[in-house]
Structure 1
């Protein structure tokens, strides 16, 4: 096992390097880089953070070449691409994600600021999905072919077919606009600091209901059907017939014998889903409900060519993804000791 883990850790390095290299090469050919963005904003008289970002990629026309050279030096574009890439790797090796070109903040600070919104959306979506989808999948497997199974399958697939953004618009119009049961934007009310702890909890849940509902319905289908199919496959195996022949009740057969084996594909995906919940940013949902999270941060950094944010977040999320994948694979051994990662298995 230790040899396998060591090999996986060593393989992470070229994978991570390849992702960063490919992204770095691509952004070298994207028009309208940070220098052009800066000049366009300056030309529009808006400065950093203005709404004129990206108005024109011809902002360098008519500008003093010395001024352009100074701006390139400010952003580090006065150096060859391979030098900048090597400096970026050295920086990332120290877990220094760099500093945003346009927001005048460290990338780490931006991630920490935006993370609470994405954590709120991701964790609620994760827990509600698993707490509902797994028991529902078990119930569907036990009652396979029944009216309950057909009806719930229809409802789950309809929810899966409706895009979260479309559902979010409908929820906003009906429950936020017409009925005015829920707020239209934000995670908290403007007077949040003045509320008691109990009122803060109620206020937070009041604000988070609609965006979480819009995100969670589409995630039911995959987990529910995966659970159902896994249980059906196990229920039809010989050891289940043997357990029933020994006189065990259906409940004992289901929870003592079937449950552990059927949950293998679900449990092994649990770490990735859980860790992903902390860094999941839904751009459309965050935009629709005016939530300033990681999804919106990623989108704005790409649009504004804020390369330190783009590459810094890519490095962090790729690294987390690789380690999470390793943990998911190790969960196979924890759930099913028959699985071996030795050579030849």
Structure 2
């Protein structure tokens, strides 16, 4: 077990290097980088003021930038060094979890992540809990009632919910319940009310949850189908196995067979994937949902960073999310071993030897 964990940890290094290398190389060929944006802003500023201001600096900016000014701009963003030196410096900083500073927000990438993380965590964790609390019992019920009208009707509802994009559903919810053309039951934007500071502790909790209702509903409506069908198929597979028939032949009650044997084995894939799902839920900030409900989370941060070519934020967040994703996958594998003693990592390789 320990040997397997060490191997997985060592394998994370080339995976991270590969992700960063590919992203870094792609970024080098993306047009409209920070240097080009700064040059364009200086030229636009100079041309806009040249008619009313005849100072030497403005006139020079209107005509173009000198080589010295262009070199200063490149040095400001670190583009005065070769690409391989910049990549190597980035790797050394990332090894010490120094993600650098944003070029346009004038803050460290780490501070930006921690600032936006609560919003994405609120959406992700709430949607994850709601999905599991509804989808798992529904999947079990569909497995037990396989082929009945209940199974057919719920499958139809799940497919309709899965087919509706979350953004479209969010617009419909705002129109219906956000004070559009019908009822004003839920707030339109943000996660807190204007008088949030004056509320009691319980009032703050209820206000926060009340603001989450519409965006979380829009996010999870389509996510029920996959988990529900996974749960149903997992339980159906266990129900049709030989040990269930043997248990019935021994005279065990259906209740005991289900909870002691079927449930424990069928729920294994769901429980094992939970650590990875929890970590992923921290960063499930949906750009469209955050934009629609005016939520300043990681999804909006990533989009704005890509559009503004804020490469330290783009690469820093990518590194952070990839690292946590690999850790989540490792925790899921470890949980599989702990919950199912029959699984032994390395057993296949040892047997082959």
Q: What TM-score comes out, normalization by structure 1 length?
A: 0.93
SS of match in other structure, 1:13: helix
Number of the residue aligned with 1:219: 223
In 2 relative to 1, CA 255–91 (structure 1 residues): closer, same or farther, beyond 3 Å? Answer: same
Residues 43-80 of structure 1: CA deviation (Å, up to 9, x unaligned)? 5559xxxxxxxxxxxx9971232222111111111000
Residues 162-206 of structure 1: CA deviation (Å, up to 9, x unaligned)? 110110011111111121111111111122112222221222122
Aligned mates of 1:120, 1:84 — CA distance in 2: 36
Number of the residue aligned with 1:6: 6
Which is higher, the Rg of structure 1 or of structure 2? 2
Number of the residue aligned with 1:163: 165
Retained in 2: the 8 A contact 1:281–1:293? Answer: yes
Aligned mates of 1:342, 1:60 — CA distance in 2: 67
Retained in 2: the 8 A contact 1:60–1:68? Answer: no
Residues 59-105 of structure 1: CA deviation (Å, up to 9, x unaligned)? 99712322221111111110000000000000000100000000000
Number of the residue aligned with 1:302: 306
Retained in 1: the 8 A contact 2:34–2:309? Answer: yes
Q: How does 1:27-38 map to 2 (within 5 A)?
A: 27-38=27-38
In 2 relative to 1, CA 240–111 (structure 1 residues): closer, same or farther, beyond 3 Å? Answer: same
Number of the residue aligned with 1:269: 273
> Number of matched residues?
333
Q: What is the alpha-carbon root mean square deviation over aligned residues? A: 1.6
Q: How does 1:1-345 map to 2 (within 5 A)?
A: 1-45=1-45, 62-176=64-178, 177-178=180-181, 179-344=183-348
Deviates more, 1:126-135 or 1:326-335: 326-335
TM-superposed CA distance for 1:247, in Å, is 2.1
Aligned mates of 2:252, 2:162 — CA distance in 1: 37
SS of match in other structure, 2:342: coil
In 2 relative to 1, CA 170–44 (structure 1 residues): closer, same or farther, beyond 3 Å? Answer: farther
Deviates more, 1:159-168 or 1:243-252: 243-252
Aligned mates of 1:15, 1:249 — CA distance in 2: 50
TM-superposed CA distance for 1:38, in Å, is 2.5
Number of the residue aligned with 2:52: none
In 2 relative to 1, CA 41–244 (structure 1 residues): closer, same or farther, beyond 3 Å? Answer: farther
TM-superposed CA distance for 1:121, in Å, is 0.3
Aligned mates of 2:276, 2:13 — CA distance in 1: 19
SS of match in other structure, 1:88: helix
TM-superposed CA distance for 1:254, in Å, is 0.7
Number of the residue aligned with 2:49: none
SS of match in other structure, 1:103: coil
Q: Which runs of 5 or more structure 1 residues have no equivalent in the other structure?
A: 47-58
Q: Which runs of 5 or more structure 2 residues have no equivalent in the other structure?
A: 47-60
TM-superposed CA distance for 1:20, in Å, is 0.2
Aligned mates of 1:154, 1:278 — CA distance in 2: 30
TM-superposed CA distance for 1:264, in Å, is 1.9
Aligned mates of 1:125, 1:218 — CA distance in 2: 11
Retained in 1: the 8 A contact 2:44–2:62? Answer: no
Aligned mates of 2:130, 2:37 — CA distance in 1: 42
In 2 relative to 1, CA 242–27 (structure 1 residues): closer, same or farther, beyond 3 Å? Answer: same
Residues 110-140 of structure 1: CA deviation (Å, up to 9, x unaligned)? 0011011101100000000001111111111
